[in-house]
Structure 1
Amino acid sequence: MIDLKTLREDPEAVRASQRRRGEDERLVDELRAADERRRAAVARADSLRAEQKQLGRQVGKARGEERDRLLAQGKELAADVRAAEAEQAEAETDLTERHTLVPNLVHPAVPAGGEDDYVVLKEVGTPQTFDFEPADHLDLGVRLGALDIERGAKVSGARFYFLTGVGAQLQLALLNLAAAQATASGFTLMIPPVLVRPEIMAGTGFLGAHAGEVYRLAEDDLYLVGTSEVPLAGYHADEILDLSAGPLRYAGWSSCFRREAGSYGKDTRGIIRVHQFDKVEMFVYCRPQDAEAEHARLLAWEEEMLAKIEVPYRVIDVAGGDLGTSASRKFDCEAWVPSQGRYRELTSTSNCTTFQARRLSVRYRDEDNRPRTAATLNGTLATTRWLVALLENHQQADGSVKVPAALRPFLGRDVLTP
């Protein structure tokens, strides 16, 4: 949730953020009204309780008719207190509901617009010119005995697949490379639960506009995660962290699940857009004033991984209308996909400022030992989709695929052959 102090002191900043996202500005005024109503209700209830307490002291000293009069007054006052407390509870519920509808404040540098209004920050590497017609990752994967889409669909339906033989080995090698980089960079490696409670899923912001993407197990009231960002964000829920030595950094290795609602007809070939995949995700808790610098570090670690798999890529600053609910700013890294002749997203990193931590009550102590809301960030180091760029960019005329040097120690081979 956004900081209500910002809403009170600078409501125009919140309205500007809503405009940049293409969201309804009226939510801001509705939230302000709900906040004012709650504060007024709290003040009235507090005042009546104080009056009731004072009256109780007077009753203890009174005698005779004076005592009877005060007792009668006390009954009326008790009814007023109950009504005020009911009004306070109703106002707090209304405020919470409206508060959760407002997404995080967009960073001022984020471009306005939608999915196609990103800004390219840099391009790294030059797309290779093949002296043969490059195959796509599905054809390559089938020839290599690495990928079986047909049986995936037979067993589980559309957008499912089997990674077979060298395909399974290649994914494990990639994720192990990512895990090794993360631990070498000071991250604590985690294998988290992939089923979480509703309050954890809601706390990360995934049950708002993107709720349709999430799988829910109604009978157990649990959700399958679409990223280990979710359980890692919940890991320190309702805690006060010690950030005196710097950020807490975790790297979660998990299977991830997404319904891909609304993507009918998009990327139906291969494994670019699927319901289940594996991923190594970085997650950071830090002080809010350190979040921008930490965001730059996460992007640098992502680029380090992309350099290791030796594919051309670009970095984009995602536009406000394409940000998730929790993100204040997001950078995507998109790799060149030869068969499509364009860049496709492989990884992203988001600065969620204090938005998630406020919902999940994750705090730290400042230099004056006062509890403050922490900031959270996330970024992907590797995922199943990376196999698309790996196979296509390193293919050779005979259908074989060269293995990038950094992956060879983890895979035990230099070339994948049909």
Structure 2
Amino acid sequence: MIEIARLRSAPEAIIQALRKKHFEAAPLVEQALAYDEERRHTQAELDTLRNQLNTLSRQIGEAMRQKDTSRAEALKTESLSCKNLISEKEKQLTDLEAKLEEILLRLPNPPHESVPPGSSSADNVVVHQGYTDPLPGAEGRLPHWEMAERLGIIDFTRGAKVTGTGFPFYVGAGAKLQRALIQFFLAEAEKAGYTEIEAPFLVNPTTAFGTGQLPDKDAQMYYIPLDELYLIPTAEVPLTNFYREEILEESQLPIKLCGYSPCFRREAGSYGKDVRGLNRLHQFDKVEIVQIVQPEVSYEVLETMRLYVQSLVEKLELPYRTVLLCGGDMSFASAKTYDVEVWSPAQERWLEVSSISNFETFQSYRMKLRYRKGKTPTYVHTLNGSALALPRIVAALLETHQTPTGRVRLPKALQPYYGQAWL
């Protein structure tokens, strides 16, 4: 959610920035500023009335001490009238605040000035190439779903029988590979200074609101009505909310958190080649990294997070690239996002395995998460990234490192966690 002070100080800049996301914000901004002006005027009236009531209370006390009964009664009548006006103004203020918040919730996060224009993934800008041309091709390679079936490590059919499409079983070496990748990613995060947290896999609506999943992504989340809880789509949600509604000391920053979790996503509207095999699942494993930092360093931190995620893919010996998302391909809540994509040789396409984003104050304003800078609490910047999501990593490993003998070589960095060099 955009800070109202920011909207008040630079409305035209925000309107122009949001056009890069193909969002016409002018009518909403105009309405938000009108509600804000009325809200501030009502607040000023309310403050005046409360001061008047305090004055009347003192005057009533003085009249009672002086045994001036008639004056005391007159002041009490005036005080009652003042209380009624205060009650009306409080209701008006509550209504105005609700209307203002409803407008602010509909405004996306304005993209950073460095975000390129564009309308789709075709307009994203490649900022780093982690491969040497030519890329490995499909000739002689099995797609990962066939390789997994041949090795007996992933059972898509029984997963569909037991739960539904997009919920595979990992069997034997497949389960062991999942565990090895999670351990590898967590160990690397610890080396990079992240504190591991085992977080709840269900969250309440306030938590989902804090990171922007609600109301924007409500339809993509699994919901348990009886308990009013949501299954998390990513560990970003509980990890970022860890300090919600707190004021941190500046000495605590930066805060670097990581956590493993299963992720649950409805993925409504996905079909065709996008959902084949491990390409798109409703339940999958992921390790997430989160940073909470001072605003002035957040874009420098974003770059360090990007380099860190790239290093993980390099250690897995996979061809990859990093793209800077254009305005039209960005999420509602992000101010700037990099996607790291691995090459799928059998499918001859790029697969996203990580999104690394800076949300600036968009999440912290919702969460009321601030830090003490001097005497005035200031909203922090929040960032997160997948480090990494497992399904497409497994797909790329099976396709990239398969051999003509029908086996799959594991990268050296992963072998200590798996215990062997081959699948």
Q: TM-score, normalised by structure 1?
A: 0.95
Report deviation, 1:299.
Answer: 0.4
Corresponding residue SS for 2:107: coil
Of 154, 167, 186, the residue aligned with 2:161 is 154
Moved more, 190-199 or 266-275: 266-275
Alignment CA distance shift 1:375-1:129 (3 Å): closer
**Partner deviation per Cα, 1:330-358 (whole Å, 9 max, x = no partner):** 00001111122121211110101111112
Rounded Cα–Cα distance in structure 2 between residues aligned with 1:403 and 1:379: 24
1:298 matched to 2:305: yes
Question: Among the aligned pairs, what percent are the same residue?
Answer: 38
Q: Does 1:83 align with 2:88?
A: yes
Measured on the aligned residues, the alpha-carbon RMSD in Å equals: 1.7
User: Where does residue 114 of structure 2 map in the other structure?
Assistant: 109
CA apart distance, 1:21:
1.3
Q: Kindly provide the CA deviation profile for residues 246-284 of structure 1, in whole angstroms up to 9, marking residues without a partner as x.
A: 411111111110000121445231011000001110011
Q: How does 1:359-374 map to 2 (within 5 A)?
A: 359-366=366-373, 368-374=374-380
- Distance in 1 (CA, whole Å) between partners of 2:221 and 2:354 is 19
Superposition deviation, residue 153 in structure 1: 0.3
CA contact (8 A) 2:138 2:346 kept: no
What code does the residue aligned with 1:75 have? Answer: L
Q: Over residues 304-349 of structure 1, what are the superposed CA-to-partner deviations in whole Å (9 max), with x where a residue is unaligned?
A: 1010111111111112222222211100001111122121211110
Q: Does 1:201 align with 2:208?
A: yes
Q: How many residues align?
A: 415
Q: Tell whether the 8 Å contact from 2:293 to 2:380 is kept in structure 1 after alignment.
A: yes
**C-alpha distance in structure 1 between counterparts of 2:196 and 2:78, whole Å:** 63
2-side partners of 1:318 and 1:235: how far apart?
Answer: 28
8 Å Cα contact 1:175/1:383 also seen in 2? no
In 2, the alpha carbon distance for the partners of 1:297 and 1:131 equals 33
What secondary structure sits across from 2:20 in the alignment? helix
Native 8 Å contact 2:137 2:345 kept in 1? no
Shift of 1:27: 1.8
Q: In the alignment, what sits opposite 1:118?
A: 124
Deviation at 1:68, TM superposition (A): 4.4
Task: After superposition, give the CA deviation of every residue in 1:47-77 in whole Å (9 maximum; x if it has no partner).
Answer: 1121222233334445365444444333332
Q: Structure 2: how far apart are the matches of 1:106 and 1:208?
A: 20
| Within-5 A mapping of 1:210-359 | 210-244=217-251, 246-265=253-272, 267-359=274-366
CA distance in structure 2 between the aligned counterparts of 1:118 and 1:221, rounded to whole angstroms: 38
In structure 1, distance between residues paired with 2:167 and 2:129: 32
Q: Is the 8 A contact 1:208 1:325 kept in 2?
A: no
Deviation by residue 1:90-144 (Cα, 9 ceiling, x = unmatched): 1112122222222222111112233322111121113544594221110011111
1: CA distance, partners of 2:172 / 2:184: 19
Deviating beyond 6 angstroms after TM superposition, the runs of 4 or more aligned structure 1 residues are none
Report Cα offsets for 1:211-240 as digits up to 9, x if no partner: 211111110000000100000011111222
Gaps of 5+ in 2: none
Unaligned runs of 5+ in 1: none
SS in 2 for 1:282: strand
CA contact (8 A) 2:253 2:292 kept: no
User: Which TM-score applies when normalising by structure 2?
Assistant: 0.94
Asked if 2 retains the 8 angstrom alpha-carbon contact of 1:315 and 1:333, the reply is: yes
Measured after TM superposition, the shift of residue 303 of structure 1 is 0.5
**Worse overlay, 191-200 or 98-107:** 98-107
Q: Distance in 2 between matches of 1:212 and 1:113?
A: 26
What is the identity, as a one-letter code, of the residue corresponding to 1:223?
Y
Paired position in structure 1 for 2:56: 55
